[in-house]
Amino acid sequence: MAALNIKKGSNSHSAYNLRPNFSDVIEKHTLAVVVDNEAGVLARVIGLFSGRGYNIDSLTVAEIDHAGHRSRITICTTGTPQVIEQIKAQLGRIVPVHEVHDLTVEGPSVERELALLKVAGEGEKRVEALRLADIFRASVVDSTLKSFVFEITGTPDKIDAFADLMRPLGLVEVARTGVAALSRGA
């Protein structure tokens, strides 16, 4: 029988050091979850993520079928393949959840996000901001003599890139919608 190796008076016991060694590659996945549009459904989904320690990179939700009381929640999350599978299975257990799609693995999909960026500045910087906005096809939705608000849609990466460029040019505030995503084709 193996002896129990414990030093009398030792303190170093962690009670739940039982992690398995599954693949630990962290993947990024976009999930589309179709739910009944009823009170508390978003809290159930978010509570699942916080309660079980999953990540939410972004989350969007809106009603997609008024007559059928359906909403669509798009969640960008990261985790090991094991965790991603668990997230999908756990989402599937929630009673008002009807469908769970992993757009990252179910074939090609399009992802778009909308962002509003406020850039304040004068002179050369202001001109440069406008020039870059043009390259990114961002449009000006508000302007004063000292500021612009740009509207940009695109993939999260594109928006990140645009925001990075705006930062030295006087970026003061950003609002992003989070990702909306659909699979390609019919």
Residue 69 touches another protein, criterion: CB under 8 A: no
Q: How many residues bind another protein (CB under 8 A)?
A: 40
Candidates 37-45, 109-117, 125-133, 176-184; binding stretch for another protein (CB under 8 A):
37-45
Q: Give the integer Cα–Cα distance in Å for 117 and 174.
A: 5
Sheet holding 139-143, edge to edge: 139-143, 147-154, 109-120, 171-183
Cβ distance to another protein smaller for residue 13 or 184: 13
When the beta carbons of 38 and 142 are compared against another protein, the nearer one is: 38
Q: What is the DSSP letter of 167?
A: G
How far CA 77 is from CA of 27, 102, 115, 152, in Å, comes to: 8, 11, 19, 23
Identify which of residues 98 and 137 has a Cβ nearer to another protein in the complex: 98
Q: Coil, helix or strand for 69? A: coil
- Closer Cβ to another protein, 98 or 146, answer by number: 98
What is the enclosing helix (H) or strand (E) of 66? Answer: none
C-alpha to C-alpha distance for 67 and 127, rounded to whole angstroms:
48
**Minimum CB separation from another protein for residue 153, in Å?**
34
Q: What is the contact surface with another protein in residues (CB under 8 A)?
A: 1-22, 36, 39-40, 43-44, 47, 51, 82, 85-86, 89-90, 92-96, 98
